[in-house]
């Protein structure tokens, strides 16, 4: 396997399956697979250990957890090697649709040097047994594209595994091995997890099986780029390539997450690890076991964060919620009456503080079921009932807003849309931005943008803009259309 490193000046989101993004996993060879019907030791009861003793005040003792539940953590070896002698494929260019290479292109990173044949032939990850008859949870990216999956237990038995299904949206996969009386882990409730609480991970970093690392919970409900459907648990537990898919335990010996991703400049651990909450993973697992796949709900809006300037513009008490920049025609949101300029502050009774909270809430809901949206509109709170669609591609898109510098005057030169321009951009009325200076330029407004509304009021003339500005406070929210997308840009005015 060829290893590689990334520029130390770039912050990247690193997938952890050794052999997927490299990482120098230890070399291994497959032995014969164990007889699936061979006698297996009886599994201990799945209960958390008794109260833990501490070697010194304030430090938990994890030995009971490791001894009791370490045997339920497995090493997963995957192979996607091409047949030897396939000269047509050897040295071929990588598949442009491969998610690994899409990741490098999306973040502007140099492609890794790969061995002949493209992607590494073998890789390793981790998983854990959730039923005594051989059902295993791991990450979807661990087994993506695998031609053969081998599960190795701590007692050195090996089994060929079947991939029951995987869900790339949440990065959860379910495996099945033919065995009985296997050790399992107890599952906890991530909602009870507190920031600062001790947690530990067991997995196979760089191929070192059943390695144990510990740390604390750094944050809950984190949203990561391109992973809006998972409210991650952030920890400072040392997690490295090969830990992917392994369990994250609380100090009571309950699994509360699946270790999935890290933020890193080098591709290795640097203090930022992220785990998928186990309640979300179990919901996905149950769907996969029942149907072979998972489904997610779809709302049909483009959203962006609410900063202080936008909160002032919309008369919100705090800069919270998901600001609707665009509503897709015919979508669940459109049928429910959601409008551009609405701020979604809650979903099914759960608060939406950051815009990233909304995709996670919607993605975990059931398609076809009713849901309630808490909305802030025209300076007042209201509620809407919505029947969610089934997600096919993307149901909630982040609006592409520029960072705003909120100083000085508005500084826009505007003209009405010509009829042919109106038809071309699909806007009934609005104003073309011809020149930008001052606060609007610093806020990210660009020549060629189409100004559709100011503070939620449609504008079709410069006079209409001036009327809104006359009654505005210290900032205004400009609704722009750019490259077929709508977004709000807040601009402070004197």
Indicate which residues carry an active-site annotation. Answer: 141, 171, 244
Q: Which helix (H) or strand (E) holds 220?
A: strand 211-224
CB atoms within 10 A of CB 324: 28
DSSP string, 306-359: --HHHHHHTT-SSS-SEEEEEE-TTSHHHHHT--TT-EEEEETTEE--STTHHH
Q: Both tokens of residue 178?
A: 């033919």
Residue 279 neighbours by CB under 8 Å, 6+ apart: 189, 190, 191
**Coil, helix or strand for 256?**
strand
Instruction: Give the Å distances, CA to CA, from 43 to 39, 71, 204.
Output: 12, 9, 22
Query: Encoding tokens for residue 13?
Result: 């989101």
Closest CA to 68 of 52, 41, 45: 45
d(C-alpha 456, C-alpha 466), whole Å: 14
Alpha carbon distance 47, 187 (integer Å): 9
DSSP 94: P
Task: Give the separation between CA 47 and CA 65, rounded to whole angstroms.
Answer: 10
CA trace torsion 477, 479, 480, 486 (10° rounding): 130
- Closest by CA to 25, choosing from 87, 76, 94, is 76
Tell me which H or E stretch contains 487.
strand 485-492
Give CA separation, 181 vs 41, 78, 196, 340, in Å.
Answer: 7, 24, 36, 56
- Report strand pairing: 247-250 vs 255-264: antiparallel
- Helix/strand/coil for 137: strand
Looking only at Cα atoms, what is the longest distance across the chain? Answer: 84
Place of tokens 């495996």: 175
Tokens of 3: 């290893």
* Residue 67 three-state SS: helix
- Helix (H) or strand (E) holding 89, with range, is none
Using CA atoms, how far apart are residues 288 and 166, in angstroms rounded to an integer?
7
Distance, CA of 361 to CA of 386 (rounded, Å): 14
The closest alpha carbon to 108, from 17, 19, 22, 13, belongs to 13
């Amino acid at each position: 396997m060829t290893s590689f490193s990334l520029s130390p000046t770039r912050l990247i989101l690193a997938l952890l399956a050794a052999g997927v993004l490299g990482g120098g996993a230890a070399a291994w060879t497959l032995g014969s697979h164990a007889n699936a019907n061979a006698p297996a030791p009886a599994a201990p009861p799945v209960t958390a250990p008794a109260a833990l003793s501490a070697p010194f005040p304030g430090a938990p003792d994890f030995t009971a957890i490791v001894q009791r539940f370490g045997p339920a953590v497995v090493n997963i070896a995957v192979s996607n090697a091409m047949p030897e002698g396939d000269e047509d494929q050897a040295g071929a260019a990588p598949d442009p649709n491969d998610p690994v290479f899409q990741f490098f292109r999306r973040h502007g990173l140099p492609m890794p040097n790969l061995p002949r044949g493209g992607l590494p032939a073998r890789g390793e990850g981790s998983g854990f047994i959730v039923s005594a008859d051989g059902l295993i949870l791991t990450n979807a990216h661990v087994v993506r594209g695998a031609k053969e999956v081998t599960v190795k237990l701590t007692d050195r038995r090996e089994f060929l595994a079947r991939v029951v299904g995987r869900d790339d949206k949440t990065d959860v996969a379910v495996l099945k091995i033919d065995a009985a009386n296997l050790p399992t882990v107890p599952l906890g409730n991530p909602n009870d997890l507190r920031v600062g609480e001790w947690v530990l991970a067991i997995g196979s970093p760089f191929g070192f099986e059943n390695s144990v690392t510990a740390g604390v919970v750094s944050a809950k409900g984190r949203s990561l780029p391109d992973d809006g459907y998972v409210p991650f648990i952030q920890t400072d537990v040392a997690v490295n390539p090969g830990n992917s898919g392994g369990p994250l335990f609380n100090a009571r010996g309950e699994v509360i997450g699946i270790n999935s991703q890290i933020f890193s400049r080098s591709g290795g651990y640097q203090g930022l690890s992220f785990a998928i909450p186990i309640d979300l993973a179990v919901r996905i697992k149950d769907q996969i076991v029942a149907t072979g796949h998972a489904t997610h709900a779809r709302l049909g809006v483009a959203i962006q964060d609410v900063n202080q300037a936008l909160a002032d513009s919309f008369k919100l008490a705090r800069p919270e919620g998901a600001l609707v920049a665009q509503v897709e025609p015919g979508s669940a949101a459109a049928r429910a009456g959601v409008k551009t300029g609405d701020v979604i502050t809650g979903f099914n009774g759960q608060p939406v503080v950051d815009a990233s909270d909304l995709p996670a809430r919607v993605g975990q809901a059931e398609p076809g079921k009713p849901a309630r949206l808490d909305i802030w509109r025209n300076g007042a709170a209201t509620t809407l009932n919505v029947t969610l669609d089934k997600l096919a591609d993307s149901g909630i898109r982040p609006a592409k807003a520029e960072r705003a510098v909120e100083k000085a005057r508005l500084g826009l030169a505007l003209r009405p849309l010509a009829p042919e321009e109106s038809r071309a951009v699909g806007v009934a009325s609005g104003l073309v931005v011809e020149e930008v200076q001052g606060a609007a330029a610093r806020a990210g407004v660009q020549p060629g943008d189409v100004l559709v509304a100011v503070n939620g009021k449609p504008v079709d003339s410069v006079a209409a803009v001036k009327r809104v500005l006359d009654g505005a406070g210290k900032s205004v929210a400009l609704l722009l259309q750019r490259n077929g997308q709508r977004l709000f840009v807040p601009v402070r005015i004197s």
